[in-house]
């Protein structure tokens, strides 16, 4: 099949979180299954252009009454032959940030930027003379792709549109005044599902219009259909329930494998764990902690946002990290960036508490060292669509301490101190107290059940998290979607309604 991944992030070119890892790894895995997968991405200012080739002709992208030109640069996804096309538009994309800056986390013109990018994806296919069987969009920035596919791009009627929800917490909600800039008639404000408390909600429209929906773990697929984690779209997701599937992400074995990881001072595997102790000492030394091989070391790498449970863990008046470090004989090292209060708080704790060290910043290398050198990995997420870090830590024999939610519930099994079973330490309610207690339990097990923990580590490292299984599930989703094309509901009546209805007649071209 011809699969076009339309995405705002893909490693190693542009990343703010796990979306980037997931898109690149899924693309490689689908390619291994023999599909012609291609990625299209904006050319942000941070993307290095050396080695990219420029296509001779620019794309002409029209959005309603406005038209803009975009050049296309082409590269290849490392460790694969997957082509990556970068859409160059200086005014929109030549900025450091993907979605915003520290001062302005969500650029004012994001609807314009990402509608332009989403529309450019169609022009790109035409310019390449390459028609996709699958248009696969990811999260709110490219949620317009299924909308354009259904209402504005008749030549793509035989392509199935898939929208993967990596995080329902970010929906792309904007003032209604941005709507005309999307290049769609006002009838579609309601008709395509944009309307959201009199604002524009890009993700909601994508959820309404995509032929099929997926999210990144089976548990999260259920959770988002309930009010607690449905982020106000649970009703719509229940309506679309039959079209929604949860497919767990995998781990890219090339990037995250302790037996080949070049970021580490020593490598290790299930058969020879000695390198893990070397990594622990290196981590302690680099973090500025006493080098004590026999003290439990807890690691954490995270975006410091409310989703990740930072209020409960680091909240200045009721957080648990400080009291855990003061009360328990352990060490704690954190790397993260995010909310200003939290960055300040962890820096302050780092100065005051000798067994707590924080690095405010982003470093791929140090993230790998934490995954390898720590004994436990802290992940108290309020919600977690999938979560990659706990899977990395399992592969590295670093047992997660986590909230039983979303993908964390699907990938970690709880320690049973009678049988020694399990791969981590889970709690059910996210409160400072439960983080404290569960961490206490892990620390207790470290000192009192070392043989059980050693077996757990190996069990964790042997879990299968390859992308091959998930890629096959996506393949089945793509194949099974031809019925969705046949059963597409009629489009809303617009001024050009009749004409558009005709255009959307089912086309049963085989994917």
Segment contacting ligand ADP by CB under 6 A, of 82-90, 222-230, 357-365, 440-448: 357-365
In contact, 472 and 466? CB cutoff 8 Å: no
Task: Report whether the peptide linkage leading into residue 489 is cis, meaning its omega lies within 30 degrees of zero.
Answer: no
Given 141, 385, 422, 432, the residue binding ligand GLC (CB under 6 A): 385
- DSSP code of 10? B
For ligand ADP, the closer CB: 107 or 362 = 362
In contact, 384 and 220? CB cutoff 8 Å: yes
Sign of the CA dihedral 208, 214, 217, 221? positive
For ligand GLC, the closer CB: 181 or 336 = 336
Q: Is 233 in the site for ligand GLC (CB under 6 A)?
A: no
Q: In angstroms, give the least distance from the CB of 254 to ligand ADP.
A: 13
In contact, 177 and 112? CB cutoff 8 Å: no
For ligand GLC, the closer CB: 124 or 248 = 248
Q: Is 387 left (phi over 0), alpha (psi -120 to 50) or beta?
A: left
- DSSP code of 421? B
Only one residue has tokens 């820096």, namely 347
Sign of the CA dihedral 338, 341, 344, 345? negative
Segment contacting ligand ADP by CB under 6 A, of 207-215, 266-274, 332-340, 447-455: 332-340
Q: How far are the Cα atoms of 37, 323, 358 from residue 318, in angstroms, in the given order?
A: 48, 9, 19
Q: In angstroms, give the least distance from the CB of 363 to ligand ADP.
A: 5
For ligand GLC, the closer CB: 118 or 167 = 167
- DSSP code of 243? G
What pairs with residue 199 in β-bridges?
Answer: 196
Q: Which does 441 bind (CB under 5 to 8 A by kind): ligand ADP, ligand GLC, none?
A: none
# of chain residues touching ligand ADP (CB under 6 A): 18
Task: Give the span between the Cα atoms of 145 and 152, in whole angstroms.
Answer: 10
In contact, 397 and 460? CB cutoff 8 Å: yes
User: What radius of gyration, in Å, describes the C-alpha atoms of the chain?
Assistant: 24
Task: Give the span between the Cα atoms of 411 and 298, in whole angstroms.
Answer: 19
Given 68, 362, 414, 497, the residue binding ligand ADP (CB under 6 A): 362
Q: Is 19 in the site for ligand GLC (CB under 6 A)?
A: yes
Given 8, 24, 118, 167, the residue binding ligand GLC (CB under 6 A): 167
Q: Is 213 in the site for ligand GLC (CB under 6 A)?
A: no
For ligand GLC, the closer CB: 466 or 487 = 466
Q: In angstroms, give the least distance from the CB of 312 to ligand ADP.
A: 17
Q: Is 21 in the site for ligand ADP (CB under 6 A)?
A: yes
Q: Is 402 in the site for ligand ADP (CB under 6 A)?
A: no
Which phi and psi (to 5°) does residue 246 adopt? -105, 120
From residue 291 to residue 310, what is the string marking binding to ligand ADP with x (rule CB under 6 A)? Answer: ----------xxx-------
Q: Is 387 in the site for ligand GLC (CB under 6 A)?
A: yes
Half-sphere exposure (CA, 13 Å, Cβ side) for 476? Answer: 9
Q: Which does 303 bind (CB under 5 to 8 A by kind): ligand ADP, ligand GLC, none?
A: ligand ADP
Q: Is 218 in the site for ligand GLC (CB under 6 A)?
A: no
Given 27, 171, 201, 335, the residue binding ligand ADP (CB under 6 A): 335
Give the residue from 277, 254, 274, 279 showing the smallest Cα distance to 264: 279
For ligand GLC, the closer CB: 146 or 407 = 407
Please tell me the total number of residues recorded for the chain in this structure: 511
* H or E element in which residue 40 lies: strand 36-42
Task: Give the span between the Cα atoms of 89 and 243, in whole angstroms.
Answer: 35
Q: Is 166 in the site for ligand GLC (CB under 6 A)?
A: yes
Given 6, 168, 388, 399, the residue binding ligand GLC (CB under 6 A): 388
- Tokens read off for 232: 């106000």
In contact, 473 and 360? CB cutoff 8 Å: no
Q: Is 141 in the site for ligand ADP (CB under 6 A)?
A: no
Q: Which residue is nearest to ligand ADP (CB)?
A: 18
In contact, 477 and 213? CB cutoff 8 Å: no
Q: In angstroms, give the least distance from the CB of 257 to ligand ADP.
A: 14
Which parts of 365-394 interact with ligand ADP (CB under 6 A)?
367, 386-389
For ligand ADP, the closer CB: 295 or 357 = 357
Q: In angstroms, give the least distance from the CB of 30 to ligand ADP.
A: 19
Residues at the site binding ligand ADP, with contacts judged by CB under 6 A: 17-19, 21, 301-303, 335-337, 362-364, 367, 386-389
Residues in contact with ligand GLC by CB under 6 A are: 17-19, 22, 166-167, 216, 249, 384-388, 407
């Amino acid at each position: 099949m011809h699969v076009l991944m339309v995405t705002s992030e893909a490693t190693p070119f542009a990343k703010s979180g796990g979306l980037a890892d997931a898109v690149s790894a899924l693309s490689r895995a689908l390619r291994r299954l023999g599909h012609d997968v291609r990625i299209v991405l904006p050319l942000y200012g941070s993307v290095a252009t050396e080695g990219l080739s420029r296509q001779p002709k620019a794309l002409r992208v029209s959005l309603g009454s406005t038209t803009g030109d975009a050049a296309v640069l082409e590269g290849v996804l490392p460790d694969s032959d997957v082509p990556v096309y970068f859409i160059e538009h200086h005014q929109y994309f030549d900025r450091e940030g993907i979605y915003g800056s520290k001062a302005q986390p969500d650029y004012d013109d994001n609807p314009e930027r990402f509608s332009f990018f989403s529309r450019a994806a169609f022009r790109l296919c035409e310019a390449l003379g390459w028609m996709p069987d699958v248009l696969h969009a990811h999260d709110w920035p490219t949620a317009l792709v299924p909308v354009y596919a259904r209402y504005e791009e008749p030549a793509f009627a035989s392509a199935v549109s898939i929208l993967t929800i990596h995080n329902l917490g970010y929906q792309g909600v904007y003032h209604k005044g941005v709507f005309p800039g999307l290049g769609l008639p006002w009838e579609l404000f309601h008709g395509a599902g944009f309307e959201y408390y009199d604002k524009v909600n890009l993700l909601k429209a994508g959820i309404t219009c995509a032929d099929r929906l997926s999210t990144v773990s089976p548990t999260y697929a259920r959770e988002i259909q309930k009010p607690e984690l449905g982020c106000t779209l649970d009703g719509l997701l229940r309506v679309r329930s039959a079209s929604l599937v949860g497919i767990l992400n995998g781990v890219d074995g090339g990037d995250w494998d302790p037996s080949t990881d070049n970021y580490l001072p020593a490598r290790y595997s299930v058969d020879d764990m000695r390198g893990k102790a070397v990594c622990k000492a290196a981590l302690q030394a680099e973090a500025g902690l006493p080098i004590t091989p026999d003290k439990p070391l807890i690691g954490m790498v995270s975006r410091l946002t409310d989703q990740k449970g930072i209020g409960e863990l680091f909240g200045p008046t009721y957080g648990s990290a400080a009291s855990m470090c003061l009360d328990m004989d352990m060490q704690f090292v954190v790397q993260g960036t995010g909310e200003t209060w939290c960055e300040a708080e962890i820096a302050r704790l780092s100065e005051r508490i000798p067994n707590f060290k924080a690095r405010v910043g982003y470093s791929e290398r140090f993230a790998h060292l934490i995954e390898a050198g720590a004994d436990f990995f802290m992940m108290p997420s309020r919600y977690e669509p999938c979560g990659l870090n706990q899977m990395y830590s399992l592969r590295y024999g670093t047992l997660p301490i986590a909230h039983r939610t979303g993908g964390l519930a699907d990938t970690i099994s709880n320690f049973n101190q009678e049988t020694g079973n399990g791969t981590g330490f889970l709690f059910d309610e996210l409160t400072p107290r439960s983080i404290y207690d569960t961490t206490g339990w892990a620390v207790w097990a470290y000192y009192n059940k070392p043989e059980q923990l050693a077996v757990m580590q190996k069990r964790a490292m042997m879990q299968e998290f390859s992308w091959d299984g998930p890629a096959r599930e996506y393949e089945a989703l793509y194949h099974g979607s031809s019925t969705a094309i046949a059963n597409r509901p009629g489009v809303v009546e617009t001024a050009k309604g009749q004409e558009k209805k005709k255009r959307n007649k089912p086309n049963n071209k085989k994917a």
